[in-house]
Structure 1
Amino acid sequence: MPVFALVLLGVFAEIAVMIAVGNAIGGLWMIALLLVGTLVGLQLVRRQGAQTMAAFSEAVWKRQQPHQEMADGVLIAAAGALIMVPGFISDVAALFLLFPPTRKIVSRRIARKAEAAALKFEHERRFGAGQVVEGEVVDVEPVIITDRRELT
């Protein structure tokens, strides 16, 4: 439910900003600005994606782990998705993800959260996360049938 509420809030915020910008500069200029923003954003995604792919290839060539390059690739893809959504707030968020210093900050935060979640999962897997039910094990001796007439 909180994710749905957050998405709904984002949609309403985008609409409110578009209405405000449309009132300030006019409806056609707002649409033109959205289209230009989308085209420029897609070019930035393309360029950043190519740079990230080159860095990924170089890291693999040097036999290094391309952790940062993979995180950059995921965040650039997220920025591309945000740019495709019409709206000014999503475009600003996409530019935030496309700017390398802020992208590095975001990837570090995500990595820390993922590491904490992995440690929690490992702890729960090792020590159990459920209720402990006290009980007693009872061994039952198997019945061996030697004569088939005993079955009827």
Structure 2
Amino acid sequence: MRLLWLFVILLFVEIALFIQIGGLIGVLPTLALIVLSSFAGLWVMRTQGANAMGRLQRSLQDMGDPSAPMARGAMNMTAGMMLFLPGFFTSFLGLLLLIPPLQDLLMRRMAARVKVTRTGFGYSQQGPGADYVRPRRGSEWNDGVIDAEYTVTDDAPNDAGESPDDDAGTPPRRGNSGWTRH
């Protein structure tokens, strides 16, 4: 319900700004600013998205913490989306979100609210919410099931260049494939 009220308030703020700015500079310059802001938002999303992926890959290659490049990339993409939305208030917020010191401040604030309880690969021995995570090893993998992928290929052609099924006129044989026990 709060989100709905926030959306309604944002709508009224944007309409009021359209009226005020349109009255000051005119209709066509107002529309031109909105279109220019949308193109700027597209440009930010396109360039900063690619830059964020590059920073994230470098961080992972250096075995560093990927959270900062991911957070900065998310902020840049959010800023681009806010610039893309038609409106002066959202464009202003998008421009503010592109300022690196403000991004750092927001990341510090968000990091203070995040609590990492555990990290790792594997499964929980005691179930969800357990503190101990142990990787699967040894006999736990030996449960008699073999995971595999397969592809169906045509039979090899004979010397005449025809498939063995072509001259017989019968569909391929189904049944014991040799991969299963019967």
Normalising by structure 1, report the TM-score. 0.69
1:41–1:95 CA contact under 8 A, matched in 2:
no
Query: Of the two structures, which has the highest relative contact order with CA contacts closer than 8 Å and spacing of 6 or more?
Result: 1
**Structure with the bigger percentage of helix:** 1
Partners of 1:80 and 1:28 lie apart in 2 by: 23
Partners of 2:42 and 2:27 lie apart in 1 by: 23
Bigger CA drift: 34-43 or 56-65? Answer: 34-43
Give the counterpart letter for 2:82 in structure 1: L
Give the counterpart letter for 1:73 in structure 2: G
Q: Does 1:83 align with 2:83?
A: yes
Change (3 A) 1:39 1:92: same
Partners of 2:59 and 2:111 lie apart in 1 by: 19
Q: Does 1:41 align with 2:41?
A: yes
* Gaps in structure 2 of 5+ consecutive residues: 118-128, 131-182
Match of 2:113 in 1: 113
Local SS of the residue matching 1:63: coil
User: Rg: which structure is higher?
Assistant: 2
1:48–1:98 CA contact under 8 A, matched in 2:
no
Normalising by structure 2, report the TM-score. 0.59
1:48–1:76 CA contact under 8 A, matched in 2:
yes
Aligned alpha-carbon RMSD (Å)? 2.0
Partners of 1:39 and 1:30 lie apart in 2 by: 15
* Gaps in structure 1 of 5+ consecutive residues: 120-124, 127-152
Partners of 1:107 and 1:93 lie apart in 2 by: 16
What is the deviation of 1:43? Answer: 1.8
Pairwise mapping of residues 29-68 of structure 1 onto structure 2 (< 5 A)?
Answer: 29-68=29-68
Match of 2:101 in 1: 101
What is the deviation of 1:46? Answer: 2.6
1:45–1:98 CA contact under 8 A, matched in 2:
no
What is the deviation of 1:77? Answer: 2.1
Give the counterpart letter for 1:56 in structure 2: L
Partners of 1:101 and 1:53 lie apart in 2 by: 21
The 4+ residue runs of structure 1 with deviation greater than 4 A are none
What is the deviation of 1:85? Answer: 1.3
State how many pairs are aligned: 119
| Identity percentage of aligned residues | 31
1:59–1:65 CA contact under 8 A, matched in 2:
yes
What is the deviation of 1:24? Answer: 0.6
